[in-house]
Amino acid sequence: MSCAMVYWNRATDDVYEVIRSEMPAGWTLITPQKDTPEACRSQLGEADFLLAAVWAIGEEELRAAPKLKMVQHQGVGHEKIAKAALKARGIPLAICPAGTTVGVAEHTILLILAVYKRLVVADTKLRQGKWLQWELRSTSFELAGKTLGLVGFGRIGQAVAQRAHAFEARILYHDPYLKERLTVAAAWDAREVSFQDLLRQSDIVSLHVPTTDATRRFMSTPQFEQMKRSAILINTSRGAIVDEPALIMALEAGTIAGAGLDVFEQEPIKPDNPLLKMDNVVLTPHISAGTVDALREKMRSVFANLRRFVEGKPIHDRVV
């Protein structure tokens, strides 16, 4: 069966080639020709399927896609998609958990170590001709022996725990949505605690929850004030779950010691954002799951799901 799929995000040619390499024979990939979604809406007219990434899919996009049969997200964050409008038209929406776990878990460990080892400062100063062999010792730390608090203990939180255990960290977790106690937690010496106890006891607080009404900006001034002054915050989840102005104030005031952030309230981050000038913060541009390994795994899962739809079989990970 011949189908046309629009990739609803501006990417690079090499990314498009990876996508095409996993497409079923006879399918056509339509890629944005402009840098903004508003300038690309006319391309939606031929879409049988819409593959979502970062760009929002609102009612205007759906009106521009009269042939649309299904929306498949390449990730899991569907807060920018007009789900009520999809439901009204009987168009299913599915997400794709595949391909994110390893990359995000590894990136979480990367940010912890980068903040603890003052990696960006050491690298930047070295390139400027400054040899900080001694100057960073009193403010650099090891992960071994530290308490890592995981807020959210789903597939990614568990993958982080597994890796942190290998670094000999003490692991706490809080997840009120777990239906039963996880036997795997015992293998990593991970202990379930209340949210308040996690904040108070952790040297590192790492966030692994989706954006919902309950989690939006749930990390704010009261939560930072419960953390140790020596603690650091890691966010590889969603920018909306952290009150960014409150975080900036906490970092400036020394309420917490540092942060490693892959996501932000506004993306791309504005050039005047105070976080960009802080040497106790490590920043990356929402790339924790942005590896070619993850992309290939995602595309295999995406097209397997779209084939299920074409064949009249139940689709996986359906949201609408």
Active site (catalytic) residues: 238, 267, 286
Q: How far apart are CA 175 and CA 268, in angstroms?
A: 29
Q: Which residue has the tokens 């790339």?
A: 287
CB neighbour list of residue 237: distance below 8 Å, 6 or more residues apart: 152, 207, 208, 209, 210, 263
β-pair type (170-174, 147-151):
parallel
Burial group, residue 311, by CB count within 10 angstroms (0-12, 13-18, 19+):
exposed
Q: How far apart are CA 243 and CA 192, in angstroms?
A: 25
Identify whether the C-beta of residue 152 lies closer than 8 Å to the C-beta of residue 208.
Answer: yes
Q: Which tokens hold the place of 248? A: 């900036």
